[in-house]
Copies of this chain bind each other. A is one copy, B any other.
Amino acid sequence: MKNNVSIGLLGLGVVGSGVIRLIEDHQEELVHQLGCGVDVKGVLVRNLEKTRDVQVDRSYLTTDPNDVLHNPEIDVIVEVMGGIDEARKYILEAFATRKHVVTANKDLIALHGQELQEAASRNQCDLFYEASVAGGIPILRGLVDGLVSDRIQQVMGIVNGTTNYILTKMNEEGVTYEDALKEAQELGFAEADPTADVEGLDAARKMAILSRLAFSTDVELEDVEVKGIANLELADLQYGKQLGYTMKLIGYSNFHNQHVEVSVQPTFLSNQHPLAAVKNEYNAVYVNGEAVGETMFYGAGAGSLPTATAIMSDVVAVITNMRLGVNGRRFVSPRFKKELTPPEERFGQFYIRMHVKDEVGAFAAISHVFNQMDISFERILQIPRSKTELAEVILITHRTALATFQESMNKLYTLDVVASVESSFRVEGDGKK
């Protein structure tokens, strides 16, 4: 039996406490699988006096990062403090002292992943970050393992639990965005300032990380087109539902002809698509590979113990590598230089809702615009609106290029019969089982 391997924690919030709890509860399993125990020998905190809901030896708590980063007994640093600049500095320092790093910090990895990975390799250290995307779902390892003998063509993800909870409430209970957000905040599924979640930024960070690994290309955060859910109207969700679609905040990325396209936007998913059944605060990542076909990974996207589980699977991988003497040797640089897909090569189906003058020839004029652009329709819905002279018209197009769709929209605006275009969304999953 070897000596214990000791880890140092940077941060002791919800996730850090979960890590300590798992290490305590699973000592026996860890010894059985690794041949050695795991303990915690240093924890960086902001406040030494705060009451914690896990038992930690007070002598291991410190407010000085050097006590953890330069403790020679510690082999693995677990970074769960969050934020960018300090976390980056500490992680680079950990590599310099030959410590391995496990982090749950998606903001940091989305922004500086490549730099940190290279620093890790240079020092023969491991840098793992499974917990940074979709909490308890082991999606990053799945992508990297699958990549070698397959070509991933498309990744679609519901990677933000807050927005999925809000959209589920709106869709199933017909409550407004504001009420659903309020309920999510009361239940702890949304933060007091929900901006990063509802504006799609959190999902964008995760999609940057996923796309990087899936397509072996250096996608950056700013390459992700982002649209949030804060302006969604209940009416659109209800029309979509009537037509067989569920509104989800979908992270979409694909790789075709060496071109990569990454976006996060409210999307109507066909109810036939497996992601359409992912409800409440759950996350799921759907991957389409040339050989393997459709796969989907589903689970909790956040929470103390699910996230801590992902961190522990990384810690176990680090320790296994330590025992085999092979740390820092599994990282492979991206194969492809990134090139973004131009709008004329970006294909999709689209939903449009507009207000149209209720008069003879109105629909013919609209059809003519789409006809000219060679766009045909999957679904059409027209509803008279009481109290106005306008009808509500909803169209779902067949697959077409984004550029072509945008041009048609511009032409629609010039039509006399079109009073307003109320909304438009991407549509996915038709024709899939």
Partner-B contacts on A (CB < 8 A): 18, 22-23, 26, 29-30, 32-34, 136-138, 141-142, 145-151, 274, 276-280, 282, 284, 289, 291-300, 303, 305-306, 308-309, 312-313, 315-317, 320, 324, 326, 329-330, 332, 335, 433
B146 and A313 contacting across the interface, CB-CB below 8 Å = yes
Given contacts A291-B309, A293-B306, A326-B326, contact A138 B142 (CB under 8 A): yes
CB-nearest residue of chain B to A149: B312
B300 and A298 contacting across the interface, CB-CB below 8 Å = no
User: Given A30-B149, A32-B332, A149-B315, list of 14 further CB < 8 A pairs?
Assistant: A33-B332, A136-B293, A138-B146, A146-B313, A148-B313, A149-B308, A276-B277, A293-B303, A294-B299, A295-B297, A295-B298, A295-B300, A298-B298, A320-B330
Partner pick for A295 among B141, B289, B299, CB 8 A cutoff: B299
Partner pick for A29 among B138, B148, B309, CB 8 A cutoff: B148
B149 and A22 contacting across the interface, CB-CB below 8 Å = yes
Instruction: Write the nearest CB–CB distance from A184 to chain B, whole angstroms.
Output: 14
Instruction: Write the nearest CB–CB distance from A45 to chain B, whole angstroms.
Output: 22
A32 and B297 contacting across the interface, CB-CB below 8 Å = no
Residues of B within 8 A of A296 (CB): 284, 296-299
- Which among A23, A149, A329 has the highest number of chain B CB atoms within 10 Å? A149
A30 to B147, CA, bound (A): 9
Instruction: Write the nearest CB–CB distance from A318 to chain B, whole angstroms.
Output: 12
Could you give 24 example pairs across A and B, Cβ below 8 Å?
A22-B149, A29-B147, A29-B148, A30-B149, A136-B292, A138-B146, A141-B145, A149-B309, A274-B277, A274-B278, A274-B298, A276-B277, A279-B433, A282-B433, A292-B300, A293-B305, A293-B306, A295-B298, A296-B296, A296-B297, A296-B299, A297-B297, A298-B298, A324-B324
